[in-house]
Structure 1
Amino acid sequence: MDIFAFLFMISSCSLVFHSDFSNAADIITQSQSLRDDMTLVSKDGSFELGFFNPGSSKNRYLGIWFKNIPVKTVVWVANRLNPINDSSGVLMVNSSGSLVLLSQNSTTVEWRLSAWKSPEDPSPGELTFGIELNNYPGIVMKKGSEKYFRSSSWNGHGYSGIPEIKGQPVLNQTVNLLERWVEADNKRNLYTSYPKDKCDEYNLCGVYGNCIISESPFCQCLEGFKPKSSETWNPDEWSKGCVRRTQLSCQDKDKIGFKKFVGLKLPDTTNSWLNRSMNLEECKVKCLNDCNCTAYSNSDIRGEGSGCAIWYGDLIDIRQISNGYDANGQDIYIRMHASDLEKLENNVMIDQNIEGQREDQELPLFNLATIVAATNNFSSNNKLGEGGFGPVYKGTLTDGQEIAVKRLSQGSGQGLNQMRAKALGWSMRFNIIYGIARGLLYLHEDSRLRIIHRDLKASNVLLDSKMSPKISDFGMARICGGDQTEGNTNRVVGTYGYMAPEYAIDGLFSIKSDVFSFGILLLEILGGKKNRRSFHPDHSLNLVGHAWKLWKEGRPLELIDTCLEDSCILSEVVRCLHISFLCLQQHPEDRPNMSYVVMMLHSENSLPEPKEPGFFVGKKSSLLGKNQSSSTNEITVSLLEAR
């Protein structure tokens, strides 16, 4: 081999170097070498190879970096673990055609991208990001030896569960981000981060668990499966996963079939088998005839699909792929007992039969007399048990239907105290944010009559047992007919601190007034503080003003509730803060509608730059000294209006 050819690959990005000094400074032959004071430049002038010392370090490394970027961005280092402590290093091609670095140490090229430990130390950090070379290769991020994030394998279009990698990614060891150089900005900008959301955490839902980011809780058992432990299947612990409702046996081959699951990030492929020449029907036959086969799928989804991927053993690390997250969700066929398949088919038939009859279904309401009669006046013989909010009784209605009734006790504060004792983590807060946004979207656009709430605030958002938000208190709401989206009033009602400027000052309200209130609520959820009660010791700005000041100074993370430090997804938090400022714009026409807010919450598209928000105000310094404290009560203006 008389030409040095180096291939660096990360996902779909590739870099090729050819070197030889005889004609130009981009080729090296066996008769020549590269000393410490020399470099090679790629033919198109994009990359440069040579020796360098990172940051303030005195150690010398052989590496490749971008030639035309002012900030030196190294994409490969040969001797990461064996630095040279002087300038005696020499790169050459030896007699056997191997590329060698002549020094006291030797080096091996690794086929992965690892984060540096620090800007001065290119030795591998804890994070690695690269292609796992098993039977069905896929992209994996690891922390040490433990998997931290995983995409599906290459399916012909891309890797499901990961966006298309553009340009040369740089892995940031500190905050798990991938960055890329943007020529127009003359700096590295955030490209994406992992995990992007809770469902990106490796094997979050355990065996046969499917992570669905739009559901609460996130983890759901696949159809035909049930939680392995119902006691631990809660928002804090899903790792035990799910088990089959009906166990399989190798002796019951005639009672076996396959259930098709659509739009998934395919399971971990550690125990898998791949044949790219087989079709889907051949794949099914092979899986059916192998008692150890758990599932099968096309390995290539282009056209009508081709190739065969087979899984053995339990299936882990599955998530539902939504259109807003990724367009490469795949279908997989999972081995199941015939009795479970029949139940699933019957459920589909029932759903189809009652389709269109659900519109008028409501929860039944019972008066106290009916409940008293059903429970025999809350007889002790009917008592089933007691929970944090009071005793539970068995009851029987006049039509024979059995019910359970919880009677709230006067001191039923245990459940509330338990809830208050634990601060909400980021995944739960994001679920609440998204739920509120979807609720407002329904009121503004999806309801038969358009509803403007006019008093959206924290105390008017209720959380159910699954911590799913429900917008409440419609006493001040306005119903708009037809295409009407705004109105005006001489009597302003609502809560100071949440009112949009045009409503509080001029009495003009619209769906954009609710958007402003949502922006305040979003800011409060991120910061863990009330808008009208949060004052920084260094200034007298309200929460909106304080947040905007930090945003303009490039310190947005200082606003975030300290309780979120261990659970938050950095890029997601910053994006939510960005969205809150867009909702808080001074003029209604500058604010997004709720359909766009919902889309922004679950996409990675770039966001418009926000202007200074409305109600960017604070107290006069003469009214709030450094040694004084202030407590502003939340006041609701509730003048009655005729409707």
Structure 2
Amino acid sequence: MNKNIISFVLSLVPLLCLCLDTDTLTSNITFRDSDTIISGGHVFKLGFFSPVNTTNRYLAVFYNVSEKTTVWIANRDRPLNDSSGTVTFSRNGNLVLTNGRNETLWSTNVTGTYPRNTSAQIQNNGNFVLSDTSTRSIIWESFSHPSDVFLPTMRISDNIYTGHKMVIPAWKNESDPEPGSWIGGLEALNVPQIFIWNNGRPYWRSGPWNGMILSGVPDMYSPYLALFSLWNDTTGTFYMTPHELRFLTRYSLNSTGNIETTMWNNQQRKWDVTWVAVQNECDVYQTCGPFGSCNIRDSPICSCTRGFEPVNNEEWESGNWTSGCARRRQLSCEQSNNTSGNRDGFLRLRFTKVPDFAERFPSSQPDVCRTRCMSNCSCIAYAHDSYIGCMSWSEPLVDFQMFNGVGIDLFLRLEASELDNHSDRMLVIIIPVVVGFAAISFVMIIAWFWNKRKGKRFAKSAIVFKDESEKANVEELPLFSFEILSNATNQFHENHLLGRGGFGFVYKGYLENGKVIAVKRLSTASGQGTEEFMNEVVVISKLQHRNLVRLIGCCVEGEEKMLIYEYMPNKSLDGCLFDPNHLSHKILDWKKRFSIIESIGRGLMYLHKDSILKIIHRDLKPSNVLLDEDWNPKISDFGMARIFGGNEDFDNTSRVVGTYGYMAPEYAMEGRFSEKSDVYSFGVLMLEIISGKKNTHYYNQELSLSLLGCAWKLWNEENCLNFVDQTIESSNFEGEIVRCIHIALLCIQEFPNERPSIQTILSMISREIINLQMPKQPVFAEKWNRSHVGTITTQRSSPVGYPCSNDLTITVLDGR
């Protein structure tokens, strides 16, 4: 009897091992349908699962937090139709999956002279490996046999000599993990790119890898830098792998042929889709045919560039663009059968996803690219990227797309007559000279008369404008006459008035071609004079980004100074957020507000890090954020902005400008500003967007708290939802909202070095950085009152209105 009991206990030992947090299968364990093993960090599990709408069973690796989310499947094309599956080790050390009839459905199938004593482990990165027990060397791994998911530290590869690829095959459909028609992988020949193929035909491509990002993916320019690595070995194999991050993320190719990036939302216990590869028709490979340019912002989306026309007009007009475009005129180089191409030139196309089939030549000098292309008659286009070098094309340009503010400049070769001819160039030179001479003469005459009556004030202004115009390259900026703008705004009628501020008024205008514009007319009584006007022209004329308002032109006649911007139909964020009638609040749900926060952050990221100039805005607030027809935000009003040199991190000013309530403490008190000054303003702006309340108008009488203090108090009490705008349905987004309040509090820390950079903030918002530091109490948590003022007295030069009753003024503050 005792022997029977001992035998029974011993028979349970393998099963007892599985009850522990083990990550390894050994030869003495029979792994059955109901069993699982878990990785050391409790991230991944190995077990059996059934997809939706089916009872078929598969051996798979899946997430511990989401057991329906698989990252690898063993028997993709040979499912179990019941729960009889078992995993054991064969005599030669291979891992084998069998069904109830002892048929082998899957095996690691390692051949050769390998040891029989092996073990299988589920690792914390999701890799399932077969190892030699004695040496711990890996002899087989699931990462070398991918399913539909591309995990951090996993590799896809392409050998440029043999053509052998390691690819990601999608499921046949959501219920069947058998490999379908969609495959994702790396194409490394010439310049490496990521592709999606459908039955072997290209469906989407990422654009060239430039060493940091995939240049044809606009969202990678900011803030998703350095998420991948690419390298090659001596055999000609190129490898790409995602970096290991601090939170759960995966890249998957779904059964409809789209790559998705998803991140685990622990608060809501679900996967959030953060990016998809194919977002519109222009992302589909060769939508517009050879030499066709695709721009999703245009209607129709396909067009032929200068010098080209549709191959088939009837098809083109019907919306079938696959036949593409053809040259109107043959290149001079081809006509003369020589290689000089002296009569050819290049048309610059800015911000593009460069075409496929680029040939690469390493060079850091763009002029080298131009010279090489011009000297080669077969070269029809070239581009230069500081990381890639020269790229050139000798075949018809395919899969060519126009972006907005990001991308690579493409130079397209055209016959000279398709460019500006000699007479046109002469007119371009003569007309500005004549007009400029007449304008200068007129200004000098006016200035002479004005000096007789008013001194030299206007002449000085004209000289300043001339000098600053040269710095800003204003000749590239269209100049509008006062008459045109007066007619466009119906003589600046009040019915066209969009808003007003310390600078003057903004009017809605209609040009003769039907284009709608916004005209910012500086008042002669405004504190903003020639200096601020020219500062805005200098700064914004050099910038182009989807989240910055676009400057169309300017007007300077007499004392009139006007800036012409693209029209934003939904006006300012200020008007929408703080609308007393709450008419916009239903539109501004939490998803829209979150998108606005992230987009403003991207605009700031461009100003601080990605533009050719380093710009500090110095007056970021809701009224300086405009909303387009799709409620996308665009930062405006660069009159107070400052350009930093490459080595500058901060500056001081004796004249503090901006808006009280949005100014960082070191700027308001000491005139010291930097990128972190804008970060402080962004933090205040985030709190206003979340709460729907204006910082400068908020006052809690009972607790004497500012809006910042209220946010701090409720966050400390873990009662953040009471801070949220009552019109927002927040129940499904509680974790995300609390996280945004936390990030905003980090932005408004007293000392600049305690605030994160805008790049870090965007990584926090996107959950690239998952763990956040603890904020300290903001310096302006309490409202000022007489007890704060004490015996302080100041010269009263520029009073600042404030909801609380006090006598405090700031001598150097130019409030707007």
Q: TM-score, normalised by structure 2?
A: 0.39
Relative to its length, the structure with more helix (as a share) is 2
Q: Which has the higher contact order (CA 8 A, sep 6+)?
A: 1
Structure 1 length normalisation: TM-score? 0.47
